[in-house]
A and B are shown apart, each in its own frame.
Chain A
Amino acid sequence: MSRVRDGASAGGLRCENIQVAFGGLKAVAGVSYDFKPGHLYGLIGPNGAGKTTLMNALSGHATLSGGRVFLDNRDITRLSVHARTRAGLGRSFQITKIFSGMSVLENLQLGAFAHRYRVQPFWMPASRFRDVREDAEKVLEQVGLTKLAHTSADYLSHGDQRALEVGLTLLGDPRVLLLDEPLAGVGHERLDQAIDLIRRIVAGRTVLLIEHNMDVVMQVSHEIVVMVQGQLLASGSPDEVRANPAVRAAYLGEGE
């Protein structure tokens, strides 16, 4: 059984010699990789390895000190965050970034507005936009928050906030999805539900998933990419990576 359902509509993401520096610290020190359409890549590595920073470089949040990023062979290195989103790149954050003070449905509707309109309509109340509401409700159902639609995002449980965080990436139906520890802080009792959600949404997309839970990441990924100290240490199938002595020494050996 293949987990790739519709690779044709997924996008390819390629990076060439990506570098990001914070002062003297090279958080990402020359990473090149070709993420093939429709595959799910698990990005692992110890704390501070530069995983989030690499994702920031791909999504446009970090300033590169070198290297280039391609989406479907189009150079997007100089595109801003929102332009990359419009080009089909979705992104969730390690630290939850949802719109506080608004309900769950309102959160998702904002995402729908952002995707549907290049110039935000100012001549009609937002409540009149049926299509936007439908977009939002669809995602609401996908992430299992329908019952909490009118609850303020501030009052959600941590697990539900993580589900909303993932939901916000789904509007606009991105071809490439970057997920930064979507399971971080999700309690045991919800873990299966959360993993289920990830499995459902990754179908038909190219996905880069950062995850510390080894069981989960080895289970869902087609390919594992290991990052240590800003550089790629190894990559390959879950089995290959598990067996790789360098990986075991540098990463899996500790505490596993």
Chain B
Amino acid sequence: MTTSHLGRLAMAAIIAAMILVPVIQTSEESLNLVSLILIWALFAIGFDLIFGMAGMLSFGHAALFGSGGYALTLLVTKAGVGFVPALGAAGMVGAVMAFGLSIFALRVSGLFFSLLTLALAQLVYILASTKLRSHTGGLDGIPGVPRPELFGIDFYDNRNYYYFLIVVFIVGIAVMALLRASPFGKALQAVQANDVRAAQIGYNVQRLRQCAFMISGFYAGVSGALLASLMFYISPQMLHWTTSGDVLIMTVLGGKGTLLGPILGVAVFEVLKEKLSQYTQHWYGILGLIFILCTIFLPNGIAGLFARKAAGRPGDAP
């Protein structure tokens, strides 16, 4: 039941490297890149709680991500709520949206679950771009999404905002690590491994799935809000189904079912995207190709290269 030492070492190295980035790397572009990685990594580890741990493939995470962004934007600019409470509220909105989705989507399983979450999320996308135009700015989006105002620090400076992101990220990682190692996390793994047996030994399978989905929604909402704030801008693009596709690709690329995997996947995805898009406009196609090759040759993702299986074959030392 323990994470491998190698995984923990890698995690510590990643966090240390991230803290050092603004010290070593001074360019605005690289700062922006690692900020994006932090935010998407938060989104991806939340996504993996249901995908890698509980075995549910949601195609509706864009709706949770985008709703968080809109929630923060509207709460701060229209309702005058402080940034940090609004960030928490964005997470809650993500969780509530996830609850709403789950009421319908958890009635079905497998492919139908994925399709239903996709359809419901597209509904949210269409609502935001048309019917709710007066609040969301329609397809034009809302410019001027604010940054935090705390301790008199200027978070409009990208370096300072980066440190704010690191703090949120580390809290997010720590909470997720605990969730995954807890009996709750083990129960999700049980549900994924064999849901009939899980119910038979007394787990309330549907309730576990619903809880996981809501926590995942909280992470999505918070990370969506952070992204809007990073870019000073939000548009329905965040709600678009491709956002759900991206987080899935990142998670599979890095290695689902591990804490480290999604973070690595996000980093590789974002760096490749950044580099490739400088040379060709077909970067998305090339990323797709890399993704396909990875699923063939690295079925456990990049993290699969690091991790060892916890349970051994007969004869292995315990």
Contacts and interface: CB of A to CB of B under 8 A. Distances in A.
A85 interface: yes
A59 interface: yes
A82 B179 contact: no
B184 A114 contact: no
Contacts of B312: 103, 150-152
Interface residues of A, number: 45
Contact of B314 (A91, A110, A151): A151
A5 B202 CA distance: 26
Nearest to B315: A151
B202 A99 contact: no
B314 A148 contact: yes
A125 B181 contact: yes
B203 A101 contact: no
A132 B1 CA distance: 14
Interface string B193-208: 1101111111111001
Contact of B202 (A115, A151, A152): A115
A120 B200 contact: no
B285 interface: no
A22 interface: no
A145 B316 CA distance: 15
Given A82-B205, A122-B178, A103 B193 contact: no
B189 interface: yes
B310 interface: yes
Contacts of A106: 1, 186, 311
B: contact size bracket: 20 to 34
Interface in A119-151: 120-127, 129, 132, 148-151
A82 B1 contact: no
Interface in A59-105: 59, 61, 80-82, 85-86, 91, 93, 97-103
Contact of A97 (B178, B200, B314): B200
**Residue with the greatest number of chain A CB neighbours at <10 A, chosen from B181, B186, B187, B208:** B186
A127 to B, nearest CB: 6
Contacts of A86: 202
A172 B314 CA distance: 28
Interface of A: 59, 61, 80-82, 85-86, 91, 93, 97-103, 106, 109-111, 113-115, 117, 120-127, 129, 132, 148-153, 155, 168-169, 171-172
Interface of B: 1-2, 178-179, 181-187, 189-190, 193-194, 196-205, 208, 309-314, 316, 318
